[in-house]
Amino acid sequence: MFNERKAAQMAAFFLGQLLDRKMPHLKLMKLLYLSDREAVRAFGWPISGDRLVSMPHGPVLSQTLNLMDGDVESQPGGWEEWISDKENHELSLRQPLDATALDELAPAEIDVLKAVWDKFGAMGKWEIRDWTHQHCAEWKDPKGSSFPIQYDALARAVGFDDASAKELAAPIQAEQEIDRIFAALGVCFFRSSGRRYSSRLGRKVIRIESTFSSCSRIRCR
């Protein structure tokens, strides 16, 4: 499922590579998308768990884009703790980055972010956008609109065969369906590997205990 704090720390990592700690939001989004894409290629699972969408300027992470644009409220400890509001189409880091603070990111995930930065960090926002248009086969030009990118399409684009792509996508899509159901119920929560978070729905407290790969237990009290 989507992990807001993890997405925020991914963004913080990239912003922390720059002396002024700010970046055009278009470039930052592409770096985040390419990181999830590379993680799927390397591990068979995205880092952020976000939904993927084709938009006119290339593929994006849907829920992360909503946070960037201020269209949804950030959860405690999430996006707004790390990233300042968009100004002049740029996002910035709220405070100098302490690498030890990236506690949601596993070493292997940080290695993915480093590899993406090494390859794309020197590109400008339009250059990296054009690269995704030319090299991300899962992206299709929506002609001014937008539509979802399925994880099996992404998996095929990074080298998985059809059967493996469908097998890879199934648990990701199942977890995203859980996200959708909770959103429809008006329950706000975000997940942290091995930790519990609570959110009120009426007078009930729903507790979610999950791991990186699956939502293992749901308990209502």
What are the sequence ranges of the domains in the chain?
Answer: 4-185
What is the average pLDDT across 82-104?
86
Average pLDDT of the chain, as a whole number: 84
User: 35-70, pLDDT tens digit by residue?
Assistant: 999 999 999 999 999 999 999 999 999 999 999 998
> Tens of pLDDT along 10-30?
999 999 999 889 999 999 999
Contact assessment for residue 152 and residue 167, using Cβ atoms and an 8 Å cutoff: no
Q: Each residue of 178-200: pLDDT tens digit? A: 877 876 676 554 444 443 333 33
- In this prediction, residue 188 carries a pLDDT of 52
pLDDT by residue (tens digit) across 144-168? 999 999 999 999 999 999 999 999 9
Give the model's confidence band at 131: pLDDT under 50 very low, under 70 low, under 90 confident, else very high: very high
Q: In 3D, which of 91, 109, 101, 93 has the Cα closest to residue 39?
A: 109
Q: Is 44 left (phi over 0), alpha (psi -120 to 50) or beta?
A: left
